[in-house]
A and B are shown apart, each in its own frame.
Chain A
């Protein structure tokens, strides 16, 4: 009973997330590269996407601070508490940023774009999935999720 409610919440959150990516323009690669192109005709929209998301998130995640269980089901929260700033988070993010700049696609929009324009975006999505798999293979086993 509680388990299925967790699944329902996860499904609704996924749908709202996908809707947000489409409405915000994040699902359009040209919109993303327009933001990353500081030296060209700069489109600041993506900064406002982040501002909107973090503005709501500060409130929502603020509510998790004094809780140890979920709101509707009373199950344990699984929020990461890793504070380590090491070569992994820096080099990994730099590599991600280069890929993000090359195509204008990050993982969320990649999944949404696979539905919107599969014929165009499949090489990126396939390579991204191979990249996920390669990481797991190189690590021997899957790293903790974030």
Chain B
């Protein structure tokens, strides 16, 4: 393992992470809800969206809009082509709903609540992510 020091951004990572933690804590304490994006957006798709879910997604969309209005374009590099994106999106969509949570619901909220169930979920999706990228970058492509 070699650490890519030029890409490593410890301070913005910690600051951004803290903002995510503040947001999740605020939603739990102030609205009594879990900031789980797959559950919230999944609720919208199911056509049974609660009003708090619509409000949260509106906020989630306003953040990048505000960022763009300040004429800032955050780094965005997406290597996957449309075909791979479709496979990936289907797996992410179905998988997170069966697991009842994703990086936010299990990763941030669940681990913050010391949930063993969420720890199992995080180890499973991180492990699968590590293996997938390994196969994609180092085993399947000569």
Interface residues of B (CB under 8 A from A): 1-4, 7-10, 12-43, 45-46, 48, 51-53, 55-68, 73-80, 82, 84-109, 111-113, 115-117, 120-122, 124-134, 136-138
Which residue of chain B has the shortest Cβ distance to A26 in the bound complex? B16
Given contacts A83-B117, A93-B106, list 6 more A-B pairs with CB under 8 A.
A15-B23, A16-B20, A52-B17, A52-B20, A103-B80, A131-B90
Give the contacting residue for A131; candidates B60, B76, B93, B136; CB below 8 A: B93
Interface centre among A17, A39, A46 (most CB of B within 10 A): A17
Smallest CB–CB gap between A31 and chain B, Å?
A: 7
Q: Is the CB of A17 within 8 A of B23?
A: yes
Please, which residues of chain B bring their CB within 8 A of the CB of A67? 29
Q: Is the CB of A96 within 8 A of B95?
A: yes
Q: Is the CB of B128 within 8 A of A146?
A: no
- Taking CB atoms and an 8 Å cut-off, the chain A residues in 86-142 that contact chain B are 88-108, 110-117, 120-121, 123-136, 142
Q: Is the CB of B128 within 8 A of A96?
A: yes
Known interface pairs A23-B16, A79-B28, A101-B132; A13-B100 also in contact (CB < 8 Å): no
Please, which residues of chain B bring their CB within 8 A of the CB of A135? 42, 93-94, 97-98
Known interface pairs A26-B16, A45-B10, A78-B32; A92-B89 also in contact (CB < 8 Å): no
Q: Is the CB of A89 within 8 A of B104?
A: no
Please, which residues of chain B bring their CB within 8 A of the CB of A94? 95, 124-125, 127-128
Give the contacting residue for A52; candidates B21, B27, B124; CB below 8 A: B21
A7 close to B (CB within 8 Å) = yes
Interface residues of A (CB under 8 A from B): 3, 6-31, 33-34, 36-46, 48-61, 63-64, 67, 69-73, 75-80, 82-85, 88-108, 110-117, 120-121, 123-136, 142-146
Q: Is the CB of A125 within 8 A of B89?
A: yes
Smallest CB–CB gap between B53 and chain A, Å?
A: 8
Known interface pairs A104-B79, A115-B64, A117-B76; A69-B89 also in contact (CB < 8 Å): no
Q: Is the CB of B4 within 8 A of A57?
A: no
Q: Is the CB of A97 within 8 A of B59?
A: no
Smallest CB–CB gap between B112 and chain A, Å?
A: 3
Known interface pairs A28-B75, A82-B100, A101-B128; A37-B134 also in contact (CB < 8 Å): yes
Please, which residues of chain A bring their CB within 8 A of the CB of B9? 25, 45
Known interface pairs A53-B20, A97-B128, A115-B68; A107-B38 also in contact (CB < 8 Å): yes
Q: Is the CB of B64 within 8 A of A88?
A: no
Please, which residues of chain A bring their CB within 8 A of the CB of B36? 145-146
